[in-house]
């Protein structure tokens, strides 16, 4: 995230009833999003699946999240004002790695933790056992 110029994106595990959701990338470009809930959203990204360069926010003080946005559209309310989909910067090896997950510990049990080191990020790989 440190090198984000505008908006970086990455997949998030265990979101929206899916094992993962997030951008699908080809050669460093976001071509579509794999999401189950409201795929028609302008920017169907999870709140945990993007980063905005702070300087971009400072340089555009009029841009803010819409507190009245409909459920699921809060992310779109700010991201779409700062970058187009073709300007998204995919992280985690062209969005092929899931490096964070949302989970309810009563439903999903991490049974094997293995830390994977790559050039710029540290990912935690979980093996999940359904209950």
Active site members? 75
Sheet with 12-15: list strands edge to edge. 12-15, 18-26, 29-34
Pick from 59, 61, 49, 58: nearest CA to 23: 49
Find the Cα–Cα–Cα–Cα dihedral 81, 84, 87, 88, rounded to 10°: 80
């Amino acid at each position: 995230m440190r090198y984000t110029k505008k908006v970086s994106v990455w997949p998030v595990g265990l979101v929206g009833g899916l094992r993962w959701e997030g951008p699908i990338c080809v050669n460093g470009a976001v071509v579509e999003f794999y999401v189950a809930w409201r795929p028609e959203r302008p920017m169907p990204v999870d709140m945990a699946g993007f980063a905005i360069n702070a300087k971009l926010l400072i340089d555009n003080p009029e841009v803010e999240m819409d507190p009245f946005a409909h459920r699921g559209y809060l992310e779109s309310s700010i991201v779409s004002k700062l970058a187009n989909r073709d300007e998204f910067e995919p992280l985690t090896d062209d969005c092929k790695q899931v490096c964070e997950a949302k989970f309810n510990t009563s439903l999903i049990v991490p049974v094997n933790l293995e830390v994977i080191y790559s050039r710029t990020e540290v990912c935690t790989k979980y093996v999940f056992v359904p209950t």
